[in-house]
Amino acid sequence: MSEQISVHILDSTLRDGSHALSHQFTAEQVARVARGLDQAGVEMIEVSHGDGLGGSTVTYGFSKQSELELLEAASSVIERGKLAVLLLPGIGTKDDLKMARDLGAKVAQIATHVTEADVAQQHIELAKSMGMEVIGMLMLSHMASPEKIAEQGKLMERYGADVVLVTDSAGALLPPTVRERVRALRDAIQIGVGFHGHNNLSMAVANSIIAIEEGARWLDACTCGLGAGSGNTPTEVLVAVLDKLGYSTGIDLWKIMDVAEDIVRPIMQKPVRIGKASLTMGYAGVYSSFLLHADKAAQQFGVDPRDVLVEVGKRRAVGGQEDILVEIAMSLAQKNAEVEASPSRRLA
């Protein structure tokens, strides 16, 4: 390319990565990771419960330490970058957002289901009034047409968002479907456009590049790919690929590799990989943060988590409906028991 294009990267290891660790980050770990990311030149470093501010509940899983402690830990070590937080209206509140801003957060990602941007108006407006940069996230974007995504992006733009992301929460999008969604959004709004990918179908990096080709300039990623489902776009891999393609990220490739290998990987309880359950999530279009909940429910009732996830996909469940997994697993167990007890089964 004749002129080098800058791409803004938000690293969500300390937010989306929380899902993979059952939200058990300690303040010491947060400080160590945040310092490493900052020294590597990462522009935005996101810290929150996996389900955003206020997410530490029985429904989503309790954090090991309070958000206040985790945000304070990150804020104390970030010198070059910007501390970012996630808020899902209905989980986090305006008071949570104010608390985060008081602790040094400069960027707010405000996320809604892809068809419900209107519920974010008051939170976007509050964040802007406090001087924060606002990135709107249209989650589970595979569930809506490009035209609907464009419509919802316009709403977020009207409320004051600086950027709107096509968010592949299920890791279900493929390059052609990313291309048409990002293009529709780019044509519809005057503000920045971005992409948030999950790797359930092994498409996160490829989809991110397609998004850039269609005009996206903001990308979410997680070091080591640590995140929900099969993980997110790996930051260090994305930086390497973008560097080879001639894009500028401001991130030192060697340093972000070191953060991944020496700081984040030792924290990981198990490798983030494309397993049969997380692959099923991408195939069936299921919210990536459902993975651990689905595994737990399936184990409790002795059923295959893949069967649970396929049924979840059929019901088009969204974030906040984690309790449906138990009901589905119970129903599948009952059906299996009925089949086992049927006369034809006994005769066979």
pLDDT the model gives residue 2: 46
CB count, 10 Å around CB of 155?
Answer: 20
pLDDT tens by residue, 278-287: 898 888 888 7
Q: Tokens 């974010």 appear where?
A: 120
Residues 6+ apart with CB under 8 A from 333: 301, 302, 303
How many whole angstroms from its chain centre is CA 225? Answer: 11
CB count, 10 Å around CB of 2?
Answer: 4
Are 33 and 267 in contact by the 8 Å Cβ rule? The answer is yes
pLDDT the model gives residue 343: 64
- In 3D space, the residue among 239, 203, 256, 244 whose CA is nearest the CA of residue 9 turns out to be 239
Are 223 and 260 in contact by the 8 Å Cβ rule? The answer is yes
Return phi, psi of residue 87, to 5°.
-135, 130
- What radius of gyration do the chain's Cα atoms show? 20
Distance CA 332, CA 348 (A): 21
Distance CA 232, CA 284 (A): 17
pLDDT the model gives residue 229: 85
| DSSP sequence for 185-234 | HHHH-SSEEEEE-B-TTS-HHHHHHHHHHTT--EEEEBGGG-SSTT-B-B
Bridge-based pairing state of the strands 163-167 and 218-221? unpaired
Return phi, psi of residue 135, to 5°.
-115, 115
Which region, left, alpha or beta, applies to residue 160 given φ > 0 means left and ψ of -120 to 50 means alpha? left
pLDDT the model gives residue 58: 80
Residue ranges in the chain whose pLDDT is less than 70: 1-2, 319-320, 342-348
- Kindly report the pTM of this predicted structure: 0.88
pLDDT the model gives residue 256: 98
Instruction: Return the amino acid letter for 32.
Output: R
Largest CA distance in the chain: 74
In order of their start, the domains of the chain are 8-267 (3.20.20.70), 276-341 (1.10.8.60)
The residues annotated with a catalytic role in the active site are: 19
- In 3D space, the residue among 21, 41, 3 whose CA is nearest the CA of residue 235 turns out to be 41
pLDDT the model gives residue 322: 74
